[in-house]
Amino acid sequence: MSLGRLTRGDESAPNVGIVHLGVGAFHRGHQAWYTHKAMKHSDGDWGILGVSLRSGKVAEQLNPQGGAYTLVEQDERNISTELVTSLTQVLVAPNNPQDVLDALADASVKIVSLTITEKGYCHQPSDGQLNFDSPEIQYDLAHPDAPVTAIGFLVYAMQSRIAKGIPAFSVLSCDNLRANGLLLQNLILAFAERISPLLAEQIQSQYTFPCCMVDRIVPSIDETKRQAFCQVLDVDDQAIVVTEPFHQWVIEDMFVQGRPAWEKVGALMVSSVHNYESMKLQLLNGSHSAIAYIGKLSGFDTVSAAVQHPPFRRYLHELMLTELLPSLIIPPEINVYHYCEQLLHRFSNTRLVHETQQIAMDGTQKLPQRWMKPLTYQLNHGLCAERLYFAIANWIQFSSGKGLNGEPMKVQDPIAEDLSLCFNSDVKLWVESILALPNLFDEAVASDALVVESITHWLTRLQYVDSPMALLSEVIAKSEK
């Protein structure tokens, strides 16, 4: 018998106070869930109107359900489910951009949040500047009535609000980017400046862009797993998300028209998020990327399978403590050794099918903020960076599109073609051309002889083994010299 479709039940939709761009798995597993709980705790008109800037799929999943979906929290010991009702509806921007501009310009909107992936910001990863060469940015500069990027939508909506005298909203980036709010503010101002310097000034003086650190592992879910959960729940939920019990949200408290009572349901409101964010980006995301590339080349499809391997676990633990940690200032209330242990525990959660392929995606957008600062710091302080060089060598091998035994690797990256063109049977030339790719590595790092030599060493060694795991003892031995 087919299952009935999930609905909101007796709950009416809340009034909208937030527009969210990019209603992917993460938004549903994190901010929409926090906002749902905050409204249950303290009321408030903080319903979320979702916007997809890409496909209509998520709208087809959520709209027939009145925006409601089930959040499943799962680890080896516990499983719990919760109906989340903070989302009201999802608009699909390519179908009707004007509707999205109108929604953003509506006076009821006090916050616009985003999870559009790193590449959705159209910036240069090395220096955070807006990429004016991006065809989408050029398109948006010429099409104020039908933009396609988040930057275009936000600036034109702000322009319309300012013209109509509607008060500003706050813009909350929830993507894994360093100083995400500041970065987005600079991109918005650079775009607005091209329209008119006055507009840029008005935006700068009226709108705020709090930075925040977001953390919760929310893998994408495949159809088989979704259907299995639906059978257990006895309802057809097309928008289900499966996540871990852990969740963290640290937010700079600078909202121009108020915010949900997120602090009542576990979020930490602070004046500066910098140290939390660097800690998470380097220790969690930095390790995650190492797991993704080394794991993919070793034939591990999931994070939990890769970290079960004891020598790899040791490598990760040492990577965190000796190479990713020294450049960090850890917030005083956090025991970083416990934090790292907890990360390994979270990565081991076999109930989350977190594919190494998902994390390996968009490496050129992710690695500059995950590996570059610790690498530069280790170099400048004469500290060991061997495990990072090894991880970079694995990323370069993965990015060629071929594994160690010639098996295909699926490279999903905005510059996938450039990456594969860098391949050279002379390994040193291969490394040099990767390091010379524009807007990726710091120049000082890319031209450092030790960096080139060390990555070349590991990439060469990879050519002689079937799996990177065969080199872990060498990596550890070389690190201890």
As measured in angstroms, the least distance from the Cβ of 301 to ligand NAI is 17
Q: Mask: binding to ligand NAI, 27-46, rule CB under 6 A, as x and -?
A: x-------------------
Q: Say if residues 388 and 323 touch (Cβ distance below 8 Å).
A: yes
Q: Say if residues 400 and 423 touch (Cβ distance below 8 Å).
A: yes
Contacted by 119, from ligand NAI, ligand CS2, none: CB < 5 to 8 Å by type: ligand NAI
Count Cβ atoms below 10 Å from residue 107 Cβ, excluding itself: 12
As measured in angstroms, the least distance from the Cβ of 202 to ligand NAI is 25
Contacted by 288, from ligand NAI, ligand CS2, none: CB < 5 to 8 Å by type: ligand CS2
Burial of 339 (0-12, 13-18, 19+ CB in 10 A): middle
Q: Residue 97: which region, alpha, beta or left (left: phi > 0; alpha: psi -120 to 50)?
A: alpha
118 is a contact residue toward ligand NAI (CB under 6 A): yes
* Residues of this chain, 219-258, that bind ligand NAI according to CB under 6 A: 220
Q: Which is nearer to ligand NAI, 87 or 445 (by Cβ)?
A: 87
Contacted by 307, from ligand CS2, ligand NAI, none: CB < 5 to 8 Å by type: none
Strands 69-74 and 79-84, sheet pairing: antiparallel
288 is a contact residue toward ligand CS2 (CB under 6 A): yes
As measured in angstroms, the least distance from the Cβ of 43 to ligand NAI is 27
CA 234 – CA 288 distance, rounded (Å)? 34
152 is a contact residue toward ligand NAI (CB under 6 A): no
As measured in angstroms, the least distance from the Cβ of 414 to ligand NAI is 8
Q: Which is nearer to ligand NAI, 72 or 385 (by Cβ)?
A: 72
As measured in angstroms, the least distance from the Cβ of 377 to ligand CS2 is 21
* C-alpha torsion angle, residues 326, 329, 334, 337 (rounded to 10): 0
Backbone CA torsion sign across 120, 124, 129, 134: negative
Instruction: Map tokens 């051309």 to a residue.
Output: 433
Concatenated DSSP letters for 1-12?
Answer: -PPPBP--TTPP
Q: Say if residues 279 and 326 touch (Cβ distance below 8 Å).
A: no
What H or E segment, with its residue span, contains residue 138?
helix 135-142
Contacted by 36, from ligand NAI, ligand CS2, none: CB < 5 to 8 Å by type: none
Residues in the chain: 481
150 SS3 class: helix
Contacted by 366, from ligand NAI, ligand CS2, none: CB < 5 to 8 Å by type: ligand CS2
Contacted by 212, from ligand NAI, ligand CS2, none: CB < 5 to 8 Å by type: none
> Residue with the closest Cβ to ligand CS2?
288
As measured in angstroms, the least distance from the Cβ of 168 to ligand CS2 is 29
CA 458 – CA 146 distance, rounded (Å)? 48
Give pairs for 450-458: CB < 8 Å, separation 24+: 450/379, 451/375, 451/379, 451/389, 452/428, 454/385, 454/386, 454/389, 455/389, 455/392, 455/393, 455/396, 455/431, 456/427, 456/428, 456/431, 457/389, 458/389, 458/390, 458/392, 458/393, 458/394
CA 333 – CA 330 distance, rounded (Å)? 8
Q: Which is nearer to ligand CS2, 359 or 434 (by Cβ)?
A: 359
Among 218, 291, 427, 469, contact with ligand NAI (rule: CB under 6 A) = 218
Contacted by 22, from ligand NAI, ligand CS2, none: CB < 5 to 8 Å by type: ligand NAI
91 is a contact residue toward ligand NAI (CB under 6 A): no
357 is a contact residue toward ligand CS2 (CB under 6 A): no
Nearest by Cα to 87 from 121, 49, 33:
49
Among 31, 65, 115, 176, contact with ligand CS2 (rule: CB under 6 A) = 176
Applying CB under 6 A, the site for ligand CS2 has a residue count of 10
150 is a contact residue toward ligand NAI (CB under 6 A): yes
As measured in angstroms, the least distance from the Cβ of 366 to ligand CS2 is 6
Instruction: Map tokens 């018998």 to a residue.
Output: 1
As measured in angstroms, the least distance from the Cβ of 375 to ligand NAI is 21
359 is a contact residue toward ligand CS2 (CB under 6 A): yes
List Cα–Cα distances, 22 to 32, 57, 62, 192, in angstroms: 12, 12, 13, 22
* Residues of this chain, 20-49, that bind ligand CS2 according to CB under 6 A: none
CA 170 – CA 210 distance, rounded (Å)? 7
Contacted by 274, from ligand CS2, ligand NAI, none: CB < 5 to 8 Å by type: none
Question: Which residues contact ligand CS2 (rule: CB under 6 A)?
Answer: 176, 215-217, 284-285, 288, 358-359, 366
Question: Which residues contact ligand NAI (rule: CB under 6 A)?
Answer: 22-27, 52-54, 115-120, 150, 175-176, 214, 216-218, 220
